[in-house]
C-alpha cells in the first residue's frame, strides 16, 4: 500500500489530498451513514498509573465513583427506548469489578434488549474475557496506545506492550469483535512511531480502530507536554481509513478537546462512528481522562444530545443512523 517513506511524506506535507481520499473511501464503503454508539463510563476507579491519564490511581483530586449494575440496566433501558443499538461499557481497571456479577448483568441486558455490548475494561485474565464473551458481550476495545515498547513501559508503569498485544490476540481468538488503536503524539513518540503505529493497526486486522490525539491533563505528570497538531492528527486518521477501509472508526471526543469542531473534522477525514456519552452527568464530570471533554457530554437530556449529534453529522454531509453496526469483517 504505502511505503514508510510515503507515509512520512504524507504526514509532513501540507495539502488536503489525503483527507479527501480518506473521506472518499469512507463514503464508498459506508455511504453517508454515521453509526451512533452510546457509552457509559461506569467506574472511574483504576489500579493503574498511566502517566497521560486523568483517572490514574495517583490523581487524588478526583471523586471516585462506581455506577451500580441496577443503574446501568436502567440507563440502557432508557437509551434503548431512543433506538440506540450499541452500548459501550467503559471503566478504569477497577479491582473491585465483580466479573461474575458483570456477566449476569450482560446476560440480563442481552435477554431484554436487541443491543450490542462493547466492553472496555482494560487488562483482564483470559478466563475473565472468556466468561464475559460467553455471557453475551459482543465487542471489546483495548488500545495498544503506542507501538514503541519502551515508551509504552515508561508511560504505563508495570505493564508491557507484549502483554497488551497478547490480550488483543486473546480477544480475537475468543470471537470478540475487537477494537484497538493508538494515542497520536504521546510524549516521546515521533514520526517513526506514527508510521509503526499505522503498520501495527493494519497488521492487527481490527474490526474497530480508535485513534485520537494526546490531550495533556492538568493533574498528570505529562501536564506540560503539548498536544499534536490537529492537521497531523487528521491526516493520521485518514491514513488509518485508507489502509483499513472496512473497519469502524469513531471520531473520538479527544478531537473535540484538541480543536473546535474536531470530531466533525474527523468525520470528514474518514471516521464513520460517533459516540454519545450517556453517563449520567452527576458522574461524568469525574470521568476526565483528559481536560476539555466536549460540552455535549454534559447536556442532561438524551433527546437534546441526540439532536446535537444529528445536526453535527448533517453539517458534515452525513446521516446519523442507529443500526447495530456489526463488523464488516466477520
Q: What is the DSSP letter of 226?
A: P
What are the start-end ranges of the H helices in 205-252?
A: 230-243
Examine residue 212 and tell whether it contacts ligand 5AD (CB under 6 A). Answer: yes
Quote the least distance from Cβ 243 to ligand SF4, whole Å: 25
**Separation of alpha carbons 264 and 34, rounded Å:** 11
CB 285 within 8 A of CB 39: no
CA torsion through residues 329, 179, 128, 148, sign = positive
Examine residue 248 and tell whether it contacts ligand SF4 (CB under 6 A). Answer: no
- Interface residue with ligand SF4 among 35, 55, 88, 124 (CB under 6 A) is 55
Count CB-CB contacts under 10 A for residue 182.
27
276 interface partner picked from ligand SF4, ligand 5AD, none, CB below 5 to 8 A per type: none
Strands 177-180 and 208-209: parallel
Count CB-CB contacts under 10 A for residue 103.
18
Rank residues 266 and 289 by Cβ distance to ligand 5AD and give the closer one.
Answer: 289
Count CB-CB contacts under 10 A for residue 177.
22
CB 186 within 8 A of CB 155: yes
Examine residue 46 and tell whether it contacts ligand SF4 (CB under 6 A). Answer: yes
Dihedral, 10, 16, 22, 25 alpha carbons, nearest 10? -120
Sort residue 150 into left (φ over 0), alpha (ψ -120 to 50) or beta.
alpha
CB 233 within 8 A of CB 185: yes
Examine residue 48 and tell whether it contacts ligand SF4 (CB under 6 A). Answer: yes
Examine residue 215 and tell whether it contacts ligand 5AD (CB under 6 A). Answer: yes
What separation in angstroms does the CA of 217 have from each of 223, 288, 289, 327?
5, 8, 7, 33
Examine residue 213 and tell whether it contacts ligand SF4 (CB under 6 A). Answer: no
92 interface partner picked from ligand SF4, ligand 5AD, none, CB below 5 to 8 A per type: ligand SF4
Q: Would you call 131 helix, strand, or coil by DSSP?
A: helix
Examine residue 148 and tell whether it contacts ligand 5AD (CB under 6 A). Answer: no
In the range 75-104, which residues lie near ligand SF4 by CB under 6 A? 92-93
143 interface partner picked from ligand SF4, ligand 5AD, none, CB below 5 to 8 A per type: ligand 5AD
Examine residue 50 and tell whether it contacts ligand SF4 (CB under 6 A). Answer: yes
Number of residues that bind ligand 5AD (CB under 6 A): 12
290 interface partner picked from ligand SF4, ligand 5AD, none, CB below 5 to 8 A per type: ligand 5AD
Q: Would you call 125 helix, strand, or coil by DSSP?
A: coil
In the range 61-120, which residues lie near ligand 5AD by CB under 6 A? none
The set of cell numbers assigned to 280 is 449520567
**Separation of alpha carbons 312 and 320, rounded Å:** 9
Quote the least distance from Cβ 237 to ligand 5AD, whole Å: 14
55 interface partner picked from ligand 5AD, ligand SF4, none, CB below 5 to 8 A per type: ligand SF4
Examine residue 124 and tell whether it contacts ligand SF4 (CB under 6 A). Answer: no
217 interface partner picked from ligand SF4, ligand 5AD, none, CB below 5 to 8 A per type: ligand 5AD
122 interface partner picked from ligand 5AD, ligand SF4, none, CB below 5 to 8 A per type: ligand SF4
**Separation of alpha carbons 88 and 278, rounded Å:** 10
Examine residue 312 and tell whether it contacts ligand 5AD (CB under 6 A). Answer: no
Examine residue 293 and tell whether it contacts ligand 5AD (CB under 6 A). Answer: no
CB within 8 Å of 13: residues ≥ 6 apart = none
- Interface residue with ligand 5AD among 75, 183, 264, 278 (CB under 6 A) is 183
By CB under 6 A, name the binding residues for ligand 5AD. 52-53, 143, 145, 183, 212, 214-215, 217, 254, 289-290
By CB under 6 A, name the binding residues for ligand SF4. 46, 48, 50, 53, 55-56, 92-93, 122
Amino acid at each position: 500500500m504505502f511505503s514508510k517513506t510515503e507515509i512520512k511524506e504524507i504526514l509532513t506535507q501540507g495539502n488536503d489530498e489525503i483527507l479527501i481520499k480518506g473521506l472518499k473511501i469512507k463514503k464508498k464503503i459506508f455511504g453517508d451513514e454515521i453509526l451512533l454508539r452510546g457509552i457509559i463510563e461506569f467506574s472511574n476507579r483504576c489500579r493503574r498509573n498511566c502517566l497521560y491519564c486523568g483517572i490514574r490511581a495517583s490523581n487524588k483530586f478526583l471523586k471516585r465513583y462506581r455506577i451500580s449494575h441496577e443503574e446501568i440496566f436502567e440507563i440502557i433501558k432508557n437509551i434503548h427506548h431512543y433506538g440506540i443499538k450499541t452500548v459501550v461499557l467503559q471503566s478504569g481497571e477497577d479491582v473491585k469489578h465483580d466479573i461474575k456479577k458483570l456477566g449476569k448483568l450482560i446476560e440480563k441486558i442481552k435477554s431484554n434488549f436487541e443491543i450490542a455490548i462493547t466492553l472496555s475494561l482494560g487488562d483482564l485474565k483470559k478466563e475473565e474475557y472468556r466468561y464475559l464473551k460467553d455471557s453475551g458481550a459482543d465487542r471489546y476495545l483495548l488500545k495498544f496506545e503506542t507501538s514503541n515498547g519502551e515508551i509504552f513501559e515508561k508511560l504505563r508503569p508495570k505493564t508491557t506492550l507484549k502483554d497488551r498485544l497478547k490480550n488483543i490476540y486473546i480477544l480475537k481468538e475468543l470471537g470478540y469483535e475487537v477494537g484497538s488503536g493508538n494515542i497520536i503524539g504521546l510524549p516521546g513518540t515521533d514520526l517513526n512511531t506514527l508510521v509503526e503505529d499505522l503498520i501495527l493497526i493494519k497488521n492487527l486486522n481490527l474490526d474497530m480502530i480508535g485513534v485520537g490525539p494526546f490531550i495533556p491533563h492538568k493533574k498528570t505528570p505529562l501536564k506540560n507536554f503539548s498536544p499534536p497538531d490537529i492537521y497531523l492528527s487528521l491526516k493520521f486518521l485518514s491514513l488509518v481509513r485508507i489502509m483499513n477501509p472496512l473497519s469502524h472508526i469513531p471520531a473520538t471526543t479527544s478531537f473535540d478537546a484538541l480543536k473546535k469542531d474536531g470530531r466533525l473534522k474527523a468525520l470528514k477525514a474518514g471516521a464513520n462512528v460517533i459516540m454519545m456519552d450517556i453517563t449520567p452527568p452527576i458522574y461524568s464530570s469525574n470521568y476526565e481522562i483528559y481536560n476539555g471533554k466536549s460540552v455535549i457530554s454534559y447536556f442532561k437530556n438524551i433527546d437534546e444530545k441526540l439532536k446535537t449529534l444529528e445536526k453535527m453529522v448533517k453539517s458534515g454531509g452525513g446521516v446519523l443512523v442507529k443500526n447495530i453496526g456489526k463488523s464488516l469483517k466477520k
